């Protein structure tokens, strides 16, 4: 997967544009209501989703596997936040617990073990009273069921890159034991125009 992301960022540079996702704005509002100050973003990419939190005075720490993406975050977006270079599978990179964790469009690219470990890893680094928010691709997406079937609701969309598609039941199954408090549908812009249906998942550590 490292090679895939390096190629993607090299070929398309700022492939998703500069604007943050709708989910990042929703997460910012959730974190702000809870008084969150320190935010962790696993899979920060080139940093567009860090902006809403920084603009609200929150501090941000990222994790990113692609060196190219980190370089773009520094040179094109001017981000000076700490970014750990490595895989989310190797969490934790520090001993901190964060008030908020935001993870957009990453967990569904992992296999079942990888998804389980990422969710657990984030929960371990979540402070008591804090929220962790994930966005996952919905089974309502037009590409659901396309590509080589790897398992239930899991398809190879590109060579060596699978996508796991969620519905309400699978959200409950994977996040229910980690403080799931709500989930809702949200449309996110696609890089080629239009929008894709995602599910916005909110968990709280109590």
For residue range 147-204, what is the model confidence (pLDDT) as tens digits?
999 999 999 988 888 999 999 999 999 999 999 999 999 999 887 778 999 999 999 9
pLDDT score recorded for residue 4: 42
Rg (the chain; Cα; Å): 16
Q: Rounded to 5 degrees, what angle do the CA atoms 84, 27, 122 make?
A: 45
Whether 2 shows a pLDDT value over 70: the answer reads: no
Kindly report, residue by residue over 62-84, the tens digit of the pLDDT. Answer: 999 999 999 999 998 899 999 99
Tell me the residue range of the domain where 84 lies.
Answer: 2-204
* CATH number reported for the structural domain that contains residue 188 in this entry: 3.40.50.150
How many domains is the chain built from? 1
pTM of the model: 0.91
């Amino acid at each position: 997967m490292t090679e895939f992301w390096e190629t993607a960022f090299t070929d398309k540079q700022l492939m998703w544009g500069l604007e943050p996702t709708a989910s990042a704005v929703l997460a910012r509002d959730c974190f702000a209501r809870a008084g969150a100050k320190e935010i962790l973003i696993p899979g920060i990419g080139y940093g567009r989703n860090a902006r809403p939190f920084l603009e609200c005075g929150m501090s941000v720490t990222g994790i990113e596997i692609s060196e190219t993406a980190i370089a773009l975050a520094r040179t094109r977006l001017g981000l000076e936040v700490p970014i750990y270079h490595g895989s989310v599978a190797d969490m934790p990179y520090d001993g901190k617990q964060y008030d908020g964790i935001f993870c957009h469009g990453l967990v569904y690219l992992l296999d079942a073990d990888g998804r389980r470990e990422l969710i657990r890893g984030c929960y371990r680094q979540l402070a008591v009273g804090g929220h962790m928010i994930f966005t996952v691709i919905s089974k309502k997406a037009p590409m659901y069921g396309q590509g080589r079937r790897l398992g239930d609701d899991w398809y190879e969309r590109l060579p060596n890159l699978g996508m796991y598609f969620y519905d309400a039941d699978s959200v409950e199954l994977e996040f229910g034991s980690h403080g799931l408090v709500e989930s809702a549908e949200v449309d996110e812009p696609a890089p080629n125009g239009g929008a894709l249906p995602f599910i916005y998942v909110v968990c709280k550590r109590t």
